Chains A and B, each alone.
Chain A
Amino acid sequence: MESECVELLPRVFSVLGDAGQTVVDDTCLEKLLDCFRGTTENETELHILQRIPCLTNIIVNVSKQKDIHPNILSFIMKLTGLFAASENYFIQLEDNGIMRHLFGNPKKLGTGAWEEATVRCGWLLGIQNMLQHEAVIEFLYKYDCIDEIIRLQEDPSIFVASTASQLLADILSFSLQHSKHAALGSSSTIQLSNKVTVLHSTNWPDYISPITGHIEDFLKSDITSNVQQALKLLSKVSGTRHPVAVILLWPKIEESVELLLKGDLTGIGQPLAELFLNVSRSVPSEVLELKFWPLLGLLLRSMNQIEALTLASGILKLKNCPQSLRMQAVTTLFQPLNFIIAVTSIQTPEDTVLLDVSSDYRVDIENCLSRKSTCINLLCQILSYLWELLQMSLQTTELPFKALMKSVVTVLRLCIGAAIPITSTVVNISRHLIGCIKVQRGGIDVLGALPQWAAGIEEVDCALTLLHDYVSNPDTDCTVLKKSLQALFRWMSHCIEPVNSHVLEPKLKEFLHGDFMSVMKKRLFDVHWEIRDSTLEFLGQVCFQFKGVESFCQLLGSCGIPHLVLELLSDPESYVRASAITALGKMNYLSPKWQMLPNENSVTAVKVNILSYLLHILNQDTEGFPRRAAIKVLADWLKNSHILSSGELENFIPIILKIGSNDLDWEVKVHTLELAEAFIDRSVSNLSISPCAVLMSNSTGSTQVNVFLQTLCEGHQRSLVHAQLHWQGARNLSAQVFGNKRYSTTAEVQRREANPLLDNKGLPRFSAITVQHIVPGIRQVVQEFREGLQELEKDLDATEHMEKTWESVFNRLEILQFPIHYSWGIVSYLDKVKSTPELRKAYQEIAPLVVRENIRFSQSVPLYNAYKALISENQQLNGIQLRILNSSLRAARHGGVQLNGQTKARFNDIQLQLANHSSKFRCGKKQ
């Protein structure tokens, strides 16, 4: 914590400690607490307390006051807890009686205060904060606090209740971890299993017994809510830092759990399932008791249908569960779908049924499916669990994918009434499902996740037809339509994967050449903007993905969709306009192939138009989204111009940069920068091929970029530079600007090619950098730095009496310093992590040069004066800038800028010697 803060604190606390003052704003208390929490991570608690004596004062004072504001009391409790995490301080506070007063017996605080939920919460969190040593637990036991915490689990406020049970879980696992017997075994699993047998409950410390007793009592209780509470607590124990605690507890509770399992499960099924899942997730299976898995199986069998689904999907996600149990879970999860397939299929269901169905389940399922609400609920649950499972790549291979596909398709067909019901059961189910958006959403999601798992030619056919139905159905809900298009995109992309393409591509072609394109056209002019937007997004995605597929390109070019998209550029909804622009941008990737088409003229006309349209939007559109999209598309084109061969774009660059830099929207500006970067990159890549050509382009485009960047850096658009700083990181920008200056000489490019150490465009090319690069490379950057610095100093001297700006000093400095920092940084990093005798030799050779240059830099009087001028002139600098400025000033002073004559020479001498010594010392240590 910095000294300025420390100075402020006494005053802050005097306000807090004064009961007469009201502090209603609890966000600032929370933030103050955050600040202390941050400090305790870096410094030890005692150290802080010594530095800030008023902390102890406030704790002592507040604990003695009666009528303190609940928010402040709660704050003090949490704060005390934070510092009492240090055992010494805890003991000190307890000796003073403060601990007893604040945390001992809550009733003493006065009932009024205790009635406030925030005070109870503060009390619990305070204890939780200090729970780092055993003294706390002994203290809690001594003052009967544990009973109070147990009671607070039933608190009316959910915040308090959940904190209380979390605290209990923490106490339990903490004390089991730290009890003497547990300390004997280390945490390796073999010893753990020994420990489980060794550690008998009789040896447990006394203070655990209230909690374990409470759990045991509640597990045996007749009242469902009590049982629930105990189970939840146990689940939480298995989620703490020391989850094995639950295994130590297991022998004590096993009997009651077993009894519970065999009894009525209403209301306790869910918490039981959660407990079992948590335990099997957090405890290595070697330690688990043998009876554990059979019990879990029993639970799965005896739960009701909907609750069993949660457990089943949980089991499938476990890594360590036995195969039989996994099979049982699969069965449970699939049974309802199974049932639907069985009743809907016309042939004898034998070949389609995925798994054997036990007859007693059928009744349950049939009941569920016969009522509308349960039917929808059941299907939604299953679908969302399936979707989750499909998202996980591992292990899911065991699922019967073909059957899964079939059943999902059946359900989705029922949802739009495309399936023909034959039996009364199906009529009933389809009546529930028709138009049910909830099930549709879930089903489409699952369908969209399926192509990578099950995609033979039959499935592809089936999925494409179904999705076509959904997309063309006018009743389809906006969200469902969006999901359908996304799913369709996945299936389509699957078809053109190289492994499948020879089989599936004809199928896809057939599909696309059907009436799909006309459906798309209709959808592009839907009354809902959501649908127009989703369709455009889909088209954009497809165009990009299929840019290599000849037939698709031709189809799209000839079907007239590009023209429709162009029309949408004047849509009333700005979101749609933006998506239309993006889609057009993606479509342009196909356009080279359009030239082979008969109606060539119209297409090229469109192409030329697009550019002018985009410029028009960039210039005229009143909303930000379309302008952002337009500039993004332009930047993207420029980046990929080798594919797009869009020669005419280049002529527009000056205009685009001009419009972009004057735009009011910050993101447009950011993307304009990207465009500029792409342009610079391109010019450079041209450079290396033929230097002459560049000199030409240099005079046209690059000067424009130069002007543009200058307006950015030196003009009044500081906010833009900021946006850029935040957005891409400071280095990127300076690299760009720096690069821009350097790129204009061919020598620069060659140099970059020659010495990878100097290539500061992206990440360091460590694999290419060798020791031979170090001396010449560093010498070069030092040389350049020296020249640059002299130039800067000259400029600063010349403008000594004029007002300095941030841009004219620090932006130039950043540009100047970056190459040397970058390259020298790599060298010293290599010296630290991959040192060799050769490297050390090179390092020693070149280091004095760098040190000397550094001394010169820090003692630069013109710069120092410029800093001082900046801070004295009333500049509108923000916090970050001020901090940079202050630290530069400090560095200059520490670097000896104020010294002169002999003292200065002596100082420099010492500096050099010091560098020498440290360098020698390092070499000595390593050799």
Chain B
Amino acid sequence: MPEIKVTPLGAGQDVGRSCILVSIGGKNVMLDCGMHMGYNDDRRFPDFSYITQNGRLTEFLDCVIISHFHLDHCGALPYMSEMIGYDGPIYMTHPTKAICPILLEDYRKITVDKKGETNFFTSQMIKDCMKKVVAVHLHQTVQVDDELEIKAYYAGHVLGAAMVLIRVGSESVVYTGDYNMTPDRHLGAAWIDKCRPDLFISESTYATTIRDSKRCRERDFLKKVHDAIERGGKVLIPVFALGRAQELCILLETFWERMNLKAPIYFSTGLTEKANHYYKLFITWTNQKIRKTFVQRNMFEFKHIKAFDRTYADNPGPMVVFATPGMLHAGQSLQIFRKWAGNDKNMVIMPGYCVQGTVGHKILSGQRKLEMEGRQTLEVKMQVEYMSFSAHADAKGIMQLIRQVEPQNVLLVHGEAKKMGFLKEKIEQEFSINCYMPANGETASIVTNPNIPVDISLGLLKGDSSLGPVPDSKKPKLMHGTLIIKDNNLRLVSPEQAVKELGLSEHHLRYTCKVQIQDHHSEQDTLNRIYNHLKNIMKDYPIQHLPDGSVMVESILIKISAMSDDQSTKDVLVSWTYQDEELGSYLITLLKKGLPQSVAL
């Protein structure tokens, strides 16, 4: 039986980094190639040596597909393509291809400049890697090679995020990447065809949360920010440059306008400009509302939000600062955090998920004393708030998408084991399909029932439907044909054609059966009676009375046997070819019931 094999090298029962290997129909595809932010050495990259022992990735992998530009989904790409030497194609959407190098550069800057690492990829490597990338459009079917094709769908998680449908022959897999089922202020909701794949690989970050309504959360967020500002505190919102940031900016901007607030809002790093630039460039990827308003007013140009300078952090008085990166693992957001952490008036709002090992993850899990580099400890007195703004689908959203796609099997990745287990049970109950959740390094094998395409000759189709009554659409109809397997293709042709093609002589096989009927009429009359009887019952069938004293229904011949002793019992012979087995046996049962008296001669 053909199998689809899925081995996560990352994202199997964790949220560290995504890197999933899928073998389908003899093709090997790598889905995402992420980096683990919790480590500083080679452990941050997936260990590709498990995939292929002698390290020749190019020969082994048919393609790499990147779902979106977050570093835990694409961060190891330059490592894989330039340092390990993968030379094959890499696919991502246009926005992802445009934004990915910026984030990689940014991360490189942090590691090489701030942490002083030398064994890390260079700018040139990032560029060379990006040159290997093939950009795809939404809903465009890309032919990777003769057998393998991929198609991207809108995922809504961040700008350019995509779900992919991978198809090899009749087998197919959908990989969602990270997605979001509720449209927000700047992006639409994920959407995909009802493509009924054999396997649906879904993220499950929020597998157990059903999020309260978006409005409530927004109000909550604004209230918290407002309270902090009122009591003279400073609010730090660590964000990734793209995605959440823009949504929260829009939110605060309108709130400030409405409440006529004076406290400054800053947005750090030059990345913002660039981010907004890309949003403008890829406006088609955002949701409809923005697209409409864009004509009148650019949603991304703000009145109250100004660029941040590092010296502002020491300014007295309340302020709100958006700073990158979002997990507080390095850079400006961490610097500001260190300055403000000691004051209990201040507040940090974490609007997204934080990977294990980062400062963000530590303070969210309630840690109040942090060890920073150089053996300093930092006491966190400021308020720490978590707001689930991260644009992942919640349990409801995941179920909704599964309903929409109608897969044969589901496989969960990118989530915590316990939560996954819960969701798995739910999916299995509700849809009665198998659900898998392999851990990192474990392989899940999914058996598929592939369809085998067969060509049917037109002659056979026509010939069969021309005979007999108008086919009943509800009743399956039996068709006879000969299957010819030749030169790697399958054909179904009529027996006559097959015989002719193969140069064989045709043999006919007829069955004859004797039915005794109680009838005192003469042979000729009995036959007439049978003829009329059948004509009454089987109105749609061509029934002929042949001159040689027999009745023919389609190809079935009915005769009265001459050698009969008893006048009142007649031996009726029914003869049919094996193709007309059904009709033949029907006639026999009919005749066995005898002829009704009322039938005319």
Contacts and interface: CB of A to CB of B under 8 A. Distances in A.
Contacts of A28: 357
9 contacts: A25-B356, A25-B362, A117-B439, A381-B59, A438-B145, A479-B131, A575-B127, A878-B374, A883-B374
Contacts, number: 89
Interface string A98-119: 0000000000000000000100
Interface in A9-67: 24-28, 30
Interface string B47-58: 000100110101
A479 B89 CA distance: 9
Contact of B59 (A27, A156, A384, A667): A384
A143 interface: no
B472 interface: no
B374 A726 contact: no
B308 to A, nearest CB: 13
A117 B443 CA distance: 12
Contacts of A644: none
A247 B132 CA distance: 45
A274 B443 CA distance: 24
B39 interface: yes
A711 to B, nearest CB: 17
Looking at chain A's contact residues, the main secondary structure is helix
B356 A384 contact: no
Closest A-B pairs by Cβ, 8 of them: A879-B374, A27-B38, A27-B357, A159-B441, A726-B116, A25-B356, A530-B131, A879-B373
Interface stretch (B105-113, B397-405, B457-465): B105-113
Contacts of B88: 438
A880 B374 contact: yes
A27 B14 CA distance: 12
A310 B59 CA distance: 12
B441 A30 contact: no
A381 B105 CA distance: 34
Interface in B249-293: 270, 273
Interface in A874-919: 878-880, 882-883
Nearest to B444: A156
A664 interface: yes
Contact of A534 (B131, B273, B365): B131
Contacts of B361: 25
Looking at chain B's contact residues, the main secondary structure is loop
Nearest to A117: B439
A131 to B, nearest CB: 22
A530 B88 CA distance: 15
Contacts of B87: 441, 479
A308 to B, nearest CB: 15
B442 interface: yes
Contact of A159 (B147, B356, B440): B440
Contacts of A310: 54
Interface in B432-458: 439-443
Contact of A27 (B39, B54, B127, B131): B39
A745 B104 CA distance: 46
A882 B59 CA distance: 50
A384 B39 contact: no
A160 B440 CA distance: 11
B43 interface: yes
B301 to A, nearest CB: 17
Contacts of A158: 7, 50, 441-443
Given A160-B441, A479-B87, A24 B127 contact: no
Interface string B212-250: 000000000000000000000000000000000000000
Interface of B: 7, 36, 38-39, 43, 50, 53-54, 56, 58-59, 87-89, 105, 109, 112-114, 116, 123, 127, 130-132, 145-147, 270, 273, 356-357, 361-362, 365, 372-376, 416, 439-443
B109 A666 contact: yes
Interface in A509-539: 530, 533-534
Given A27-B39, A438-B88, 18 more contacts: A25-B357, A25-B365, A30-B43, A117-B441, A157-B440, A157-B442, A159-B440, A373-B146, A384-B56, A438-B145, A533-B127, A575-B127, A628-B123, A666-B109, A666-B113, A878-B373, A879-B376, A882-B374
Nearest to B87: A441
Contacts of B357: 25, 27-28
A723 interface: yes
A441 B54 CA distance: 20
Given A26-B356, A30-B43, A156-B442, A624 B56 contact: no
B59 A380 contact: yes
Contacts of B112: 726
Contacts of B127: 533, 575
B375 A723 contact: no
B526 to A, nearest CB: 65
B442 A117 contact: yes
Contacts of B373: 878-879
Which of B127, B273, B416, B443 neighbours the largest number of chain A CB atoms within 10 Å of its CB?
Answer: B127
Nearest to A388: B56
A158 B105 CA distance: 33
A664 B109 CA distance: 12
B123 A625 contact: yes
B128 to A, nearest CB: 8
A886 to B, nearest CB: 10
A117 B130 CA distance: 36
Contacts of A530: 131
Interface string A378-392: 001100100000000
B375 A879 contact: yes
A28 B39 CA distance: 9
A30 B56 CA distance: 29
A622 B276 CA distance: 14
A219 to B, nearest CB: 20
Interface in A348-395: 372-373, 380-381, 384
A281 interface: no
A310 B54 CA distance: 10
A319 interface: no
Contact of A726 (B59, B113, B130): B113
A722 interface: yes
Contacts of B39: 27, 30
A427 interface: no
A361 B564 CA distance: 74
Nearest to A376: B145
A4 interface: yes
A479 B270 contact: no
Contacts of A479: 87, 131-132
Interface in A620-669: 622, 624-625, 628, 664, 666-667
Nearest to A880: B374
Nearest to A5: B375
A664 B269 CA distance: 10
A624 B105 contact: yes
A664 B270 contact: yes
Contacts of A159: 50, 440-441
A622 B146 CA distance: 42
Contacts of B114: 722
A482 B130 CA distance: 13
A77 B113 CA distance: 37
A162 B373 CA distance: 35
Contacts of A666: 109, 113
A372 B362 CA distance: 54
Contacts of B440: 157, 159
B72 to A, nearest CB: 13
A925 B127 CA distance: 60
Contacts of B416: 24
Contacts of A327: none
Contact of B441 (A157, A372, A482): A157
